[in-house]
Chains A and B, each alone.
Chain A
């Protein structure tokens, strides 16, 4: 019952024939999910315009789904089959699911931006709807009936009035549809759904509870070397010399060096670890990082800033009315790590003419050309296969570990497994960038926002970046595309509320202190922290109740509903901010925030109740209430899990997390220097999911993250009368703000 990944033999034949890739590999002794992937060895089209790219009706009556989006623990392994089974008219138990394999699944884009369901799932819904229409048309000929008199259900097409039907397998089993995706193929009426909307259990959960789930960390191929990469002593340091004799005593251990990429390899993992600790290497001095304590000022003073107006609504020249209260404030969100529990890992087998990489990347397809470029291979000779890793929540070190493994495999001529250390992961994963946000605005005496101007000091994404630059190709001097890609971090810089004028200006920075990458809900936790804190600052300026103030500025009924339902969960009593006691001791407060994610997606209302110990500065979040409207819900338990996770992970980021660094390197490289939320800090959480079956499904993996910071800061203000505008809200910072020193 343990996970026997024994002797999987992958013969890596990926032959391109007229646009269809034929893949064959023999797998023995692999667990079901990996075996299913290996068994899918038919000629496959990968064109996302073709139905056959996404699904196949097999001769045995099952249906195989080929999904370019991957399950990172967020539940696509059940929710995507739910969508497909519902739309096809077949039982969910008949669906097999294959994910994230550049040889088998179509490119549906990265599994990022909370798009798994709303984009990836909807492509598959249209593929299934097109297939169902085709199946009904085929059956109409077979049964000599009119298509409109037939229904697809339970894996067969049958007369609506009853009587004998014909099975999907009988109609097309083992053969191709040869059809383009038809965006106009009729979709099922949500009122008739029997699978979508149900809290069905995720198939990987039992495997994860019995220890049989195969993570990329657990995957092995024959003849595989174990490697540890030795990262430089400073971010920009170059390798001067290596003393190979320093690991002579460790059996089988060898040094591998490709320019500044330094690694040790061994036949077993413990020997590789011992060698990595014993190895003596000399690196050049480098101290090019900014002074951490001055980072916000450094960003603001950057001489290379390029300004861009992102939002310009209404009339910014309009005269403020008499009695308008003017408020200005500056907020700061620090660099943060993805802080995966399992350090990144990958396995690669690179031969002279082809490469296979097993990776936990969210973007197998997007990485294909990146890997082909630095390996110097044609893109179609590079295959990336997704295997689940430790949760990454954006782009952690998974891709870097995969690039490490690929370059080391080529250098050694053997398959190589690279496992990062804890220090590697917290020190070298690409970071969420620092965000400095200034807001100024005014509020009229009758409680309306008059003018609003947000300024963002953030790094600019380099145009046309396929991926962020990976560490190994750069260190090894191999071909790669330099640049920055922190994700879409400028969104939600403006409020959702009515105002006479709203402006958002980005002061684009050319660089970032440490290599940036998207981290869950890129940029939005910071922007919404600033925007929704500032809304409360305006409300406080005129003594308005924060819920009533928000509702006054909104017309969208879905926005209004999440705020009202959040308030109801909290038993919110209308009042302005309380006049906080300044005596030492524990004080309590409440706060609320609202986010319409990207102004076009999920609606979130977030309420928090906090206790602040004025003496120690410690904040306890005691209760969280969240109303969440992501349109049509595919799997309510899946949505609930994502919302719970978004809330807890972001509470951790807001209260505790900041990457620490000196002039040379990151210094917060373990769980004591980069602490995250523990059980002792976990609040009660009440979630109210609003299902809208007739609306398009939207993402649930990120939106709630964006609402956390402001709800927490607003609650602390209610409790203490002071404003926290710099994340993280550590006890020292809280004490400092309470004493008026910050």
Chain B
């Protein structure tokens, strides 16, 4: 068993694993951080997106060894009901999720976008979220919510 010192949602967190290649996704879910979802394990759908060093990363394709010491943010760490992130406020106001399985990944990808582009165009948003798949068809609401969260429209 090797020990990995992780930095998750602003807290130090040591975890053990016998496999350095264990994906971050399973580390998070074992810590009961279950907002981050398994969708494909192939980095194709975006359901498992988290922020690492502020960038949107697919946690299913990121090994625990590669995130040692780097700041990791999951949906649980992005905001809370008492202190919501503007994206969470906007997603709730626009009633964005249906089944909601893709929502965590959508919000995390959008958060990464807003951290580098605080007034994205609709084209920017479509481009940043193109790797986040949704089957319920909430896309137009996502676009509205991200615009609203960045103080545009809505």
Binary flags per residue of A199-229, CB closer than 8 Å to B gives 1, else 0 = 0011011101111111101100000000000
Given contacts A341-B134, A341-B135, A649-B135, contact A2 B76 (CB under 8 A): yes
Q: In the complex, what's the smallest C-beta–C-beta distance from A675 to chain B, in angstroms?
A: 9
- The answer on a CB contact under 8 Å between B75 and A211 is yes
CB neighbours (8 Å) of B30 from chain A are: 268-269
Partner of B34, one of A201, A218, A391: A218
Partner of B97, one of A209, A389, A677: A209
Distance, CA A268 to CA B27, complexed state (A): 10
CB neighbours (8 Å) of B129 from chain A are: 679
- The answer on a CB contact under 8 Å between B137 and A649 is yes
Given contacts A2-B76, A274-B19, contact A644 B140 (CB under 8 A): yes
CB neighbours (8 Å) of A208 from chain B are: 97, 100, 103
Query: Is A23 located at the chain interface by the 8 A CB criterion?
Result: no
Partner of A270, one of B19, B45, B100, B107: B19
Closest to A391 in B: B99
- The answer on a CB contact under 8 Å between A646 and B101 is no
Q: Which among A3-11, A290-298, A491-499, A715-723 touches the partner chain?
A: A3-11
Binary flags per residue of A259-303, CB closer than 8 Å to B gives 1, else 0 = 000000000111001100000000000000000000000000000
CB neighbours (8 Å) of B114 from chain A are: none
Partner of A341, one of B31, B42, B47, B142: B47
Distance, CA A578 to CA B45, complexed state (A): 40
Query: Is B81 located at the chain interface by the 8 A CB criterion?
Result: yes
CB neighbours (8 Å) of B22 from chain A are: 270
- The answer on a CB contact under 8 Å between B40 and A390 is no
CB neighbours (8 Å) of A206 from chain B are: 81, 92
- The answer on a CB contact under 8 Å between B44 and A73 is no
- The answer on a CB contact under 8 Å between B136 and A419 is no
Query: Is A74 located at the chain interface by the 8 A CB criterion?
Result: yes
- The answer on a CB contact under 8 Å between A213 and B139 is no
- The answer on a CB contact under 8 Å between A645 and B137 is yes
Distance, CA A218 to CA B88, complexed state (A): 21
Query: Is B70 located at the chain interface by the 8 A CB criterion?
Result: no
Closest to A646 in B: B137
Q: In the complex, what's the smallest C-beta–C-beta distance from A339 to chain B, in angstroms?
A: 6
Query: Is B147 located at the chain interface by the 8 A CB criterion?
Result: no
Partner of B135, one of A251, A644, A676: A676
- The answer on a CB contact under 8 Å between A419 and B81 is no
Distance, CA A201 to CA B101, complexed state (A): 18
CB neighbours (8 Å) of A647 from chain B are: 137
- The answer on a CB contact under 8 Å between B103 and A670 is no
Partner of B40, one of A6, A213, A218, A422: A422
Question: In chain B between 109 and 154, which residues have their CB closer than 8 angstroms to a CB of chain A?
Answer: 125-127, 129-143
- The answer on a CB contact under 8 Å between B100 and A213 is yes
Q: In the complex, what's the smallest C-beta–C-beta distance from B143 to chain A, in angstroms?
A: 8
- The answer on a CB contact under 8 Å between A670 and B42 is yes
CB neighbours (8 Å) of B31 from chain A are: 2
Q: Interface range on chain B: under 10, 10 to 19, 20 to 34, or 35 or more?
A: 35 or more
Binary flags per residue of A624-647, CB closer than 8 Å to B gives 1, else 0 = 000000000000010001001111
Partner of A390, one of B23, B101, B139: B101
- The answer on a CB contact under 8 Å between B95 and A201 is yes
- The answer on a CB contact under 8 Å between B80 and A637 is no
Q: In the complex, what's the smallest C-beta–C-beta distance from B11 to chain A, in angstroms?
A: 11
Distance, CA A2 to CA B32, complexed state (A): 7
Query: Is A685 located at the chain interface by the 8 A CB criterion?
Result: yes
Chain B: interface secondary structure? loop
- The answer on a CB contact under 8 Å between A342 and B91 is no
Closest to A649 in B: B137
Query: Is A393 located at the chain interface by the 8 A CB criterion?
Result: yes
Closest to B79 in A: A210
Query: Is B35 located at the chain interface by the 8 A CB criterion?
Result: yes
Distance, CA A566 to CA B125, complexed state (A): 29
Query: Is B39 located at the chain interface by the 8 A CB criterion?
Result: yes
Given contacts A6-B32, A341-B39, A342-B37, contact A210 B80 (CB under 8 A): yes
Distance, CA A682 to CA B107, complexed state (A): 18
Q: In the complex, what's the smallest C-beta–C-beta distance from A3 to chain B, in angstroms?
A: 5
Closest to B81 in A: A210
- The answer on a CB contact under 8 Å between B101 and A215 is yes
CB neighbours (8 Å) of A680 from chain B are: 126-127, 130
- The answer on a CB contact under 8 Å between B139 and A204 is no
Query: Is A504 located at the chain interface by the 8 A CB criterion?
Result: no
Partner of A391, one of B39, B95, B101: B101
Q: In the complex, what's the smallest C-beta–C-beta distance from B23 to chain A, in angstroms?
A: 7
- The answer on a CB contact under 8 Å between A210 and B18 is no
Distance, CA A722 to CA B84, complexed state (A): 51
Q: In the complex, what's the smallest C-beta–C-beta distance from A728 to chain B, in angstroms?
A: 16
Given contacts A270-B23, A649-B136, contact A637 B95 (CB under 8 A): yes
Q: In the complex, what's the smallest C-beta–C-beta distance from A271 to chain B, in angstroms?
A: 8
Partner of B38, one of A217, A393, A641, A677: A217
Q: In the complex, what's the smallest C-beta–C-beta distance from B78 to chain A, in angstroms?
A: 9
Query: Is B3 located at the chain interface by the 8 A CB criterion?
Result: no
Q: In the complex, what's the smallest C-beta–C-beta distance from B59 to chain A, in angstroms?
A: 13
CB neighbours (8 Å) of A339 from chain B are: 135
Chain A CB within 10 A, most for which of B26, B31, B95:
B95
CB neighbours (8 Å) of A679 from chain B are: 125-127, 129-130, 132, 139, 142-143
CB neighbours (8 Å) of B55 from chain A are: none
Distance, CA A723 to CA B26, complexed state (A): 49
Closest to B31 in A: A2
Closest to A390 in B: B101
Query: Is B96 located at the chain interface by the 8 A CB criterion?
Result: yes
CB neighbours (8 Å) of A213 from chain B are: 100
Distance, CA A393 to CA B79, complexed state (A): 30
Query: Is A144 located at the chain interface by the 8 A CB criterion?
Result: no
Query: Is A536 located at the chain interface by the 8 A CB criterion?
Result: no
CB neighbours (8 Å) of A637 from chain B are: 95
Closest to A360 in B: B99
Distance, CA A100 to CA B132, complexed state (A): 30
Partner of B99, one of A72, A670, A682: A72
CB neighbours (8 Å) of A670 from chain B are: 40, 42, 44
Query: Is B49 located at the chain interface by the 8 A CB criterion?
Result: no
Partner of B26, one of A269, A644, A677: A269
Query: Is A671 located at the chain interface by the 8 A CB criterion?
Result: yes
CB neighbours (8 Å) of B138 from chain A are: 641, 644-645
- The answer on a CB contact under 8 Å between B99 and A73 is yes
Distance, CA A421 to CA B80, complexed state (A): 31
Q: In the complex, what's the smallest C-beta–C-beta distance from A200 to chain B, in angstroms?
A: 10
CB neighbours (8 Å) of A682 from chain B are: 126, 139-140, 143
CB neighbours (8 Å) of B76 from chain A are: 1-2, 210-212
Given contacts A208-B100, A209-B92, contact A3 B35 (CB under 8 A): yes
Query: Is A334 located at the chain interface by the 8 A CB criterion?
Result: no
CB neighbours (8 Å) of A434 from chain B are: none
Query: Is A340 located at the chain interface by the 8 A CB criterion?
Result: yes
Query: Is A648 located at the chain interface by the 8 A CB criterion?
Result: yes
Query: Is B72 located at the chain interface by the 8 A CB criterion?
Result: no
Known pairs A341-B135, A644-B137 / 9 extra A-B pairs, C-beta < 8 Å: A206-B81, A343-B39, A671-B45, A676-B135, A677-B137, A679-B127, A679-B142, A682-B126, A685-B140
18 pairs from A and B in contact (CB 8 Å cutoff): A2-B31, A2-B34, A3-B32, A6-B32, A72-B99, A73-B100, A73-B136, A208-B100, A210-B84, A217-B37, A270-B17, A340-B101, A341-B102, A341-B135, A342-B38, A672-B44, A680-B127, A682-B140
User: Considering the complex of A and B, which 9 residue pairs feature the smallest CB-CB distances, nearest first?
Assistant: A211-B35, A648-B137, A208-B100, A73-B99, A391-B99, A645-B137, A73-B98, A390-B101, A218-B34
